[in-house]
Amino acid sequence: MFIRSSFAALVLASALGLSGMASAADTVSVQGRLTNLAGIGVDGVYALTFSLRTPDGTLVHKETQPGVKVVEGVFSVRLGTETLLAPGIFANNPVLLFTTEVGGEPVGEPVPLDSVPFAFHADTAQVGRALEVLSAAPSCSASSVGRMYFDAEDQLAYFCTGAGWQAFQGPPGADGQPGEPGVDGAQGPKGDTGDIGPTGLKGDIGAQGLKGDIGPQGTKGDTGAQGAPGPQGDQGPPGDPKATYTVWGAQSCASGHTLLYKGHTSNVVGTGGSGTPFCLSESFTTAGWTNWSGGLVWRANSAGSADLRGQYSQAANEVTCAVCQGTVYVNWGNLSCAAGWQGFYDGWIGAFAGGWGNGWSAGGTICLHPNAGANWTNWDSMMVMKALGSSGDNRVQYMNTQDFRCRVCY
């Protein structure tokens, strides 16, 4: 907390008061100053420890005074009040180093003291050094430490220390009594007009006046810009609750739809052609059924060759089906759904056919589920054709090596 202290050992009044004593004094008056890190004098009550050492570091006196009052950094104590000073301490030690500690912490630099200012060190000493009155500061060196003089110009007493001349300054006196109030002065001129004050509170609304006549209609304004699209409307009512559809090649329905029954993909095929495909219930007995040598179900599939008609393997797997309650539609040739619809499954366009003897027949078109099976074999002719008027030919087979896909949406 403290970075330096300065001390005046045996201030002027004490030096003169000791003159004429025949024996060693019991106490010595010491004044010093304590400052903080900013060099400002501190205030308060502190425990101060004072030490006297010879130049070689030998301790000859030490005492602690626990309640020293410090005002604006200045304190004044009497050395020897807590621990008696040894007789002859100054006579036997011409030069002593004076140090202090605050709360056990050393502060400041040691101050060299000699015995000249003190009528203290010997029984034969009768007077201290004389106080000189000068108009300018004399030399202050190591050989003149302890010398004092009174400056006639600034009316202050100074003493020589190892750090140079130090002014002697006693503690500040008490504040004087306040003086009587003076008489009132004459009234001053009128000041400038002040700023306008804040607006007052709003008053009550007055009564509504009579309605005026309607003015003539104004001219029609320009048409404004078209507004942003409004939010999407509520979902429409559900479709026909009795609507049904068939899933070809699987036995599950779209989310939220009801499974009515499971079955097998079937058709009626004869020499004259084939009929509309249907889902034959699993409850129908299969006893007495035999395999034909020709495949029944076809699908449009490139399979990396020039043949887009894949025949389902003979007797290798069944093409199952399911009848569901709900509403769907098929996007033939595209794997997307219209706005507001979502995809149920992506499949392949398929059909029914039979081939035996000298001819073959084909039936209705279906969208085969991807679970319809993997055991397909290619035939040597195309399955899907489209009408295209080009060079007098309006029947064009589907381009080789492409799948013909479909999506079922709900």
For the stretch 117-145, pLDDT in tens is 433 333 323 323 445 666 678 888 877 77
Between CA 184 and CA 178 the distance in angstroms is: 17
The pLDDT score that the predictor gives to residue 22 is: 28
Question: For the purposes of burial, counting CB atoms within 10 Å of the CB of 11, is it exposed (0-12), middle (13-18) or buried (19 or more)?
Answer: buried
Domains, the chain, with CATH or none: 2-167 (2.60.40.1930), 244-284+292-409 (no CATH)
List all residues 6 or more positions away from 224 whose beta carbon is below 8 Å from its beta carbon.
none
Query: What pLDDT is attached to residue 257?
Result: 95
The confidence score (pLDDT) of residue 396 equals 52
Which contacts of 269-275 are long-range, i.e. CB under 8 A and separated by 24 or more positions? 269/296, 269/352, 269/353, 269/354, 269/361, 269/363, 270/354, 270/361, 271/357, 271/359, 271/361, 272/361, 273/361, 273/362, 273/363, 274/352, 274/353, 274/354, 274/361, 274/362, 274/363, 274/364, 275/363, 275/364
Q: Left if phi > 0, otherwise alpha if psi is -120 to 50, otherwise beta: which for 133?
A: beta
> Consecutive 10-residue runs of the chain (410 residues): their mean pLDDT?
43 32 57 81 91 93 93 87 88 84 84 50 33 73 76 77 76 77 89 90 89 90 88 72 90 94 80 75 72 60 50 59 94 93 90 58 79 65 55 52 76
Is pTM beyond 0.75 here?
Answer: no
pLDDT tens digits, one per residue of 231-260:
987 776 666 778 999 999 899 999 999 999
Q: Facing residues of 29 across strands?
A: 78
CA distance 273 to 365: 14
CA 274 and chain centroid, separation? 75
Amino acid 239: pLDDT:
61
| pLDDT number for residue 133 | 62
